[in-house]
Amino acid sequence: MQKNIDITALIETYHLTEEKLKHMTLLEAIQLLDQKDSNDKQKAIQERKNDPNYLKDLKTYFRPYSALCSIWPEETVQKVCIEELSPHDITGEHKMVIPKGDPLYNPPKLYGMEYIKTAYTFVNNGDDLIHRNCYIYKCANPHQGSRHGTIILRLLYETWPQLKPFAFSAYEMTNLESYEIYTKSHLFVPFLALIKGDTEAIRKRNRDYAKSYNNGFFTPKNIETLLKSKETKQFFQTIETMDRKGICV
């Protein structure tokens, strides 16, 4: 795969001269950039570990946090989040315009948000940006859901590496009880059924969906074929025999 070479990053990070760059091979340049990326990531991880506000925000604003900690030890969940999520992945800002004539330093309490400051700043007004006095609150990043799957799959695969061949897709978690993920063969997998090894619940979910939807691939006939396939049988055997020591089920 072709990789763009960031010459500026090479020069600034490694203090390379133009002469040294001329004699550097493409492979050497890529290796140096990969090392820079690795160093930058480790530095960011260390900063998060040492930042008490990061853990506070993680516990407060990362929506699946409590649900995941009800299954895995909290330190395990924290480790994965620290390694995968930047502060921006977790939190965002909500701006509340202060009506003209209202006092500037009397912010109302908003559920699930923390008042940060009052500022004269840009806000959206239809298609335009305008300056207004605003109360600014910390809130959960509204696009945070795009990162939930990354955390969930890392927890799954690091706990049970034998699940990797089934190549799950995982998306936003809004409710643990109804949350589900999907195998590469399009099997619907209720998350708690997977954690508990309840293969019958997985069969029921897929049969019920096929019966109600009954279109395209998801017909009762196709789903019965899928449930009886070699891959699904292997999947069921895998989750029935997983070691669940240290996991709350």
Q: Quick: pLDDT tens for 52-73.
A: 999 999 999 999 999 999 999 9
Helix (H) or strand (E) holding 96: strand 91-97
Average pLDDT, the chain: 93
Provide the whole-model pTM.
0.85
Q: With 80 as the cut, is the pLDDT of residue 5 above it?
A: no
Task: Of 155, 156, 249, 154, give the one whose Cα is nearest residue 197.
Answer: 249
Please give the DSSP secondary-structure letter assigned to residue 165.
G
pLDDT over 90 for what percent of the chain? Answer: 74
Task: Of 66, 65, 70, give the one whose Cα is nearest residue 248.
Answer: 70
pLDDT value at position 135? 95
CB atoms within 10 A of CB 157: 13
pLDDT value at position 100? 85
User: Average pLDDT for residues 181-210, to the nearest whole number?
Assistant: 98
User: Average pLDDT for residues 150-171, to the nearest whole number?
Assistant: 98
Say which range, 26-30, 177-181, 231-235, has the weakest mean pLDDT. Answer: 26-30
Q: Say which residues have a Cβ less than 8 Å from residue 93's Cβ, sequence separation at least 6.
A: 116, 136, 137, 138, 139
